[in-house]
Structure 1
Amino acid sequence: MPHDHTPGETPHQHGSEAGHDHAAHGHGPGHAHHHHGMPEGTDGERRLLIALAVTAGFMLVEAAGGWFANSLALLADAGHMLTDAAALGLAWLAARMARRPRDARRSYGYGRVQVLAAFANGIVLIAVVAAIVVEAAGRLADPAPVAGGLMMAVAAAGLVANLVAFRVLRGGDRGNLNLRGAALHVMGDLLGSIGALAAGAVILATGWTPIDPILSVLVSLLVLRSAWSILRESGHVLVEGSPDRIDEAALSAAIVAGVPDVVDVHHVHAWTLTPDRPIVTLHARLCEGADSDQAVAAVIRLLHERFGIDHATVQAEFEVCADVTTAPRH
């Protein structure tokens, strides 16, 4: 007997008596069938690998410079770059895994791994921000001398390196949460370099060393805001939240209004495999005598054209819903 799909369930074709229950698994014309194992482009992987090399290489330079200059801003940014190198490595690994084909235990493949990596990156960023703030508080309570000239030289070199890495990542797919999460890490490093550069200039001009931890905190707060954004968005995907652009009530109303043979839509579930790949399953009750194949095709076409949904499973019904325990007749 046909059954309803829940958001974590894999939609497959199923049906029962001809002319009474019919389910169709539909893909819009723009659907690339990534979940069937066809490889995605490797552009994102290449960009992540370049950013990883730049970040890891300069992290060693900045750590040494921060140590000799006694600059918290440089040391904090070097520590940030260390976590970023690990995060970029994780993001690169996730991008590679996402191209692996589906198997018997993972019917959607490994695409969601990229979202999981973005979520982990957000958590790591928040932890780094907390550590920087604690260290900055200690420096404000007990100021230490800072070599402003060396600090500025290292910060300027770091700024160039981070600009290169950020440009590489931003040139990729803007809808890829994994790339966005990695770009946010690099943006934090870029802001850290700007803060260290400004702090070095102030120290050279005035000798006022508290500017070093103060700017470290300000940069950290900017990073925190971005980290929270990526954490919230990736978390929404992981808990099978509905896509922001899809309102289930509006979607149901649009189907009833746009497909003459459909008299009722229920059991609507919308979620995303990744932010750019929405998925919908629903039950559509048809009027007596309607052609279920044509009606289902019309619903799938409407979902693609009106809502940009290329992966939909539509359960066509006539008198009684297949799942009578949870979908009483309206």
Structure 2
Amino acid sequence: MHDHAHGAGGLRGGSNRRLLAISLSITSVVFVVQVVGAVLTGSLALLADSAHMLTDAAALVVALIASAVAARPANERRTFGYQRAEVFGALINGVILIGLSVWIVVEAITRLASNEDAHVLAGPMLVVAIVGLLANATAMWLLSAAQRHSLNVRGAYIEVMGDLLGSAAVIIAAVVILVTGFGQADAIASLAIAALMIPRAIGLLREVFSVLAESAPAGMQVEKIRDHILQTPGVVAVHDVHVWQLTRGAPVFSAHVVVTDECFASGEAGGILSRLQTCLADHFDVEHSTFQLEPAGHVEHDAHV
């Protein structure tokens, strides 16, 4: 997988690591602002959002480390290189998101159960939340292109998205408190932040487990690939088809392809192999494909064994 954002230009066209580093800088600054704002205003929602921002910063650090490790070249021990490091980075991000969501829910329910309106300075709370919203929107814009091709960057992108929605919830709560004086809106906003985070964390973990289980990538139609292979002149049959992915955007394909004896006799086997690899790359965006060409008799022997 390449370490750049496909289809994006300008600032968003930089390497994944550069984009993650810029996002980390933005997140770290806003985290400090939110912590100070939460202490001064007494807002649980703002504190929850700042805790999520801290988690975002940690997640971005993990993503940066994973991205650097994934860029290391393959060797004799790790023949596919280190691209799976991005998947483990995304796994850590997902677990952090789940843990943070549980903490927010417990704190919010405790405050709601007290039946007392929290004393929240809604004005400063609103200002800090708007700053967080703008910062998260900027970070999301920076990562939007790269996250389509990197599961690792997508993990960071999802966390920033959750933080943006969390900032929006804090803004709504602050406005409600300013207009109506209903202080419990702060705790309700905290629950809304958790409700926004949990499904995204589950979705990220589901994708991670799909990669680790070596399932076919989402949207990859194995039967259609098989049909394309069978339509290649000289191909008789195809079996032992396997499709998996090292990480998002890095699918891998292998298959045993039965060709006519005439192809081997005439030296056409090399041409068939090139056409098959070109077909996978052009029609299915699979850059890494491996084919074992076999005569018909070899297939019968494999089946017997």
**Which residue type is aligned with residue 295 of structure 2?**
F
Match of 2:239 in 1: 266
The superposition leaves residues 221-276 of structure 1 with CA deviations (integer Å, 9 ceiling, x where unpaired) of: 122222222221222112211122323233223211x1121111001111112221
- Structure 2 CA distance, aligned partners of 1:40 and 1:80? 27
Say whether 1:71 aligns with 2:43. yes
- Structure 1 CA distance, aligned partners of 2:53 and 2:201? 15
Pairs within 5 Å for 1:161-172 = 161-172=135-146
| Shift in CA distance, 173/183, structure 1 to aligned 2, threshold 3 Å | closer
Does structure 2 retain, via aligned residues, the 8 Å contact 1:125–1:223?
yes
- Structure 2 CA distance, aligned partners of 1:251 and 1:171? 27
The superposition leaves residues 174-220 of structure 1 with CA deviations (integer Å, 9 ceiling, x where unpaired) of: 22222221111111111121111111111121111111111221222
- Structure 1 CA distance, aligned partners of 2:72 and 2:59? 20
Name the SS for the 2:29 alignment partner.
Answer: helix
Deviates more, 1:293-302 or 1:190-199: 293-302
Say whether 1:224 aligns with 2:198. yes
Deviates more, 1:72-81 or 1:212-221: 212-221
- Structure 1 CA distance, aligned partners of 2:78 and 2:102? 36
Percent identity, aligned pairs only? 38
Pairs within 5 Å for 1:151-162 = 151-162=125-136
Match of 1:276 in 2: 249
**Which of 92, 98, 114 lines up with 1:126 in the alignment?**
98
Does structure 2 retain, via aligned residues, the 8 Å contact 1:321–1:328?
no
**Which residue type is aligned with residue 74 of structure 1?**
L
1:324: how far off? 4.8
| Shift in CA distance, 301/198, structure 1 to aligned 2, threshold 3 Å | same
| Shift in CA distance, 321/217, structure 1 to aligned 2, threshold 3 Å | farther
- Structure 2 CA distance, aligned partners of 1:228 and 1:313? 33
Q: How many residues align?
A: 290
Match of 2:23 in 1: 51
Structure 1 runs, 4 residues or longer, greater than 4 Å off = 322-325
- The structure with the largest helix share of the pair is 2
- Structure 1 CA distance, aligned partners of 2:136 and 2:223? 45
| Shift in CA distance, 263/182, structure 1 to aligned 2, threshold 3 Å | same
> CA RMSD for the aligned pairs?
2.0
| Shift in CA distance, 171/289, structure 1 to aligned 2, threshold 3 Å | closer
Match of 2:34 in 1: 62
Say whether 1:139 aligns with 2:111. yes
Does structure 2 retain, via aligned residues, the 8 Å contact 1:65–1:151?
yes
Say whether 1:308 aligns with 2:282. no
Deviates more, 1:314-323 or 1:291-300: 314-323
Does structure 2 retain, via aligned residues, the 8 Å contact 1:116–1:238?
no
The superposition leaves residues 37-83 of structure 1 with CA deviations (integer Å, 9 ceiling, x where unpaired) of: xx734621111111111111221221121122111101101111111
Name the SS for the 1:132 alignment partner.
Answer: helix
Unmatched segments (≥5 aa) in structure 2: 5-13
**Which of 45, 54, 59 lines up with 1:87 in the alignment?**
59
TM-score (ref. length: structure 2): 0.88
TM-score (ref. length: structure 1): 0.82
